[in-house]
Amino acid sequence: MSKQKSGLGSGLPKNANDAEQSAQVELYNVTLAESAEQREREMTFGEALKADRRLIMYSIGFSGTIIMEGYGLALMTYLFTLEPFNRKYGVLTADGKYEVEYIWKVLLPLTAQIGSIIGIFVTTPCTKWFGYKWTTLLMLIFSATLIAMPFFAPNIMILCVGFFLQGIPWGVFQVVSPAYASEVSTIQLRPILTTWNNLCWVIGQLLSAGAIKGFSVAFRTEWAFRIPFGLQWIFTFLLAIGIWLAPESPYWYIQKGEIARGRQAIVKLVRKGDPSMAEEKLALMQHTIQQEHMKDAEIAQLGKWERIKLMLKGSDARRTEIACIAWTIQAMCGSSIIAWGPKLFENSGLDASQSLSVNMALPAAGLLGTLASWWLMAYMGRRSIYFYGLLVMALLLVACGGASYAPANVSGWAAGGVLTVYTMVYDLTVGPICYSIVSEIPSIRYRAVTLSAARGAYLGSNLINHFLTPKMLSAPSEGGWGLGSRTGFVYAVLCLISATYTWFRIPETNGLSARSLDILFQHGVSARQFNNATAAQYEQLDREKNTRLTNTASQNSVFSVHAVSSKAQ
């Protein structure tokens, strides 16, 4: 008979919560689960691609919500270069042009970021109650309703409130999309489907740049910016259809004890006509949940603040630090200049039309960079890509700053060319690789809390960018500091500081299992010495130590039995 095992161990539940957890995972075939895990490890990328076409399709559907977020956020900054938008919501400046005031240039994207932070906080209870699928559908409906506010906004105050409210579903999307991808994907596809979110950001930016450029040429009225707002209704409708057709994450059903519905979801994900694969995936998911509950048995008894305190002690404190700083680096390495590209080009000597034309090259370069990163990850480790990427980006930002000293008729085009190359390098290295690093560094028991803290650090850094970047890029007549493309010098210094941190603190995670990472962190191994060979050495030392402890315990047990026996006699 096949070996059977209860999902959550044995023993009677002590309370209602324990009873609920005990019902979450029924008996499952452990042998089948272990063989499924081994098969996934041995599967080539081509085999995984062929076997999981449906899984990829549904995961991409959820990731499409990130395209919508990237489109909306990019639209906010691109609009500041649009003359009809400035005429509608701006004020007349001393040089006779209409310009949106600096405070609103800060507040419009800032309020959207604050809304996203609120969205991140509401994601956990929403997904717990409704699941990933219905949470996303409800947020799409909410978003479709809110699009009307910027579309019909009579003044900039209403526009600001609309962006704030739209930020809430965007915050939910940026959590649900990678979570769904990581839960349904196989081992071979997980790096691609996780970093796919970065590509979706770039696609959204490219669509936004194209819409602004196209309609700015077609219309000289308010329709030049209202139609790009209205296009979001089309995105929402198409995404809602895709999400409606997708299955819920099987993990969500299994954790609730709804094994039959979990099996149905898996059948929709796996290759059609292959019931054996569905049973394997079901057993593997049950086995994974069982292991998670075993590892978190003690932690589950602690309160929220006790868990956070434990996360900030020992090796977990180091892991939390690395995850938070890695995501902060992604925000502070100069990537915010990409979003404000049109403003940089305009202040470097190009007119509004030329600025929007050059700006279209930025997301196109990012698209190529992200696609190339999938190839690069097969030949280089995460740490190396991150470190050398930051060094190259620092050089490019210095070149961008140097473009300000070129003749006026050349400066804008030079800054545009350098920033295009910078965007490609960013999306080849730091942009997508950051997602891999922050998802692999945390320990299993603190992964959710660590990622929340790291994402909070990223959003906090972006709030700083929303104040400083437009201030540095804008001309003094617009209330700025007039640095223009020399802003590159500031971020070049931050890139060098980030590269130094990466060299000393961020370890290599490529090819290391979660257990190997645990061993290396627990022994305080230097970031530059993280590899399988070092992990094997410390694993052997731990094994020898455990053997000695076991032998000592056995000897003490024998002595105790002998003493009891002698006393009885």
Q: Are residues 288 and 318 in the same domain?
A: no
Instruction: Answer yes or no: do 337 and 349 share one domain.
Output: yes
Whether 142 maps to a domain, the answer reads yes
- pLDDT tens by residue, 351-369: 777 777 787 888 889 889 9
Compute the mean pLDDT over every residue in the chain, rounded to the nearest whole number. Answer: 79
Cβ neighbours for 184, distance < 8 A, ≥ 6 positions apart: 55, 58, 59, 249, 250, 269
- Express each pLDDT in 274-325 by its tens digit: 676 777 777 777 766 665 454 444 555 555 556 556 656 667 888 889 999 9
Write out pLDDT tens, residues 315-354: 788 888 999 999 899 999 998 888 788 778 877 778 777 7
Q: In CATH, what number is assigned to the domain containing residue 338?
A: 1.20.1250.20
> Is 517 domain-assigned?
no
pLDDT given for residue 466 in this prediction: 80
Domain holding 351, by residue range, is 302-509
Residue 472 in domain: yes
Query: φ and ψ at 4, to 5 degrees?
Result: -115, 150
DSSP symbol at 94? T
Asked if the structure places residue 520 within a domain, the reply is no
Give the rounded distance of the alpha carbon of 348 from its chain centre.
33
1 belongs to a structural domain: no
- Asked whether residue 102 falls in the same domain as residue 158, the answer is yes
Q: Are residues 181 and 321 in the same domain?
A: no
Nearest to 439 by CA among 417, 454, 426: 454
Q: Kindly report, residue by residue over 532-559, the tens digit of the pLDDT.
A: 677 777 767 766 666 666 666 556 555 5
The residue among 3, 2, 5, 1 whose CA lies nearest residue 287 is 5
**Which residues have C-beta within 8 Å of that of residue 443, sequence separation ≥ 6?**
315, 316, 319, 450, 518, 521
Q: How far apart are CA 295 and CA 292, in angstroms?
A: 5
Of 484, 509, 534, at which residue does a domain stop?
509
Give the model confidence (pLDDT) of 416-455 as tens digits.
889 999 999 999 999 988 888 887 787 756 666 677 778 7
In a domain, 552, yes or no: no
Of 464, 485, 509, which residue constitutes the final position of a domain? Answer: 509
pLDDT in tens, 198-234: 888 888 888 888 888 888 767 778 888 899 999 999 9
C-alpha torsion 433→439→443→447, nearest 10: 150
Same domain, 195 and 274: no
CA distance 108 to 104: 6
Do the domain assignments include residue 523? no
346 and 276 both lie in a single domain: no
Grouping H, G, I as helix, E, B as strand and the rest as coil, residue 99 is strand
Residue pointed to by tokens 């191994």: 525
Same-domain check for residues 289 and 311 = no
Residues 367 and 409 in one domain: yes
Of 258, 278, 300, the last residue of a domain is 300
Residues 313 and 435 in one domain: yes
* Nearest Cα to Cα of residue 132 among 236, 283, 246: 246
CA gap 33, 64 in Å, rounded: 31
Residue 20 maps to a domain: no
Is-contact 249 183, C-beta < 8 A?
yes
Whole-number pLDDT of residue 274: 62
Are 494 and 395 within one domain?
yes
Tokens of 57: 């399709």
Pair 213, 252 in one domain: no
Domains identified in the chain, total number: 3
Look up residue 400 and give its amino acid. Answer: C
CA 87 to chain CA mean position, Å: 36
Q: Are residues 380 and 459 in the same domain?
A: yes
* The pLDDT value given to residue 328: 94
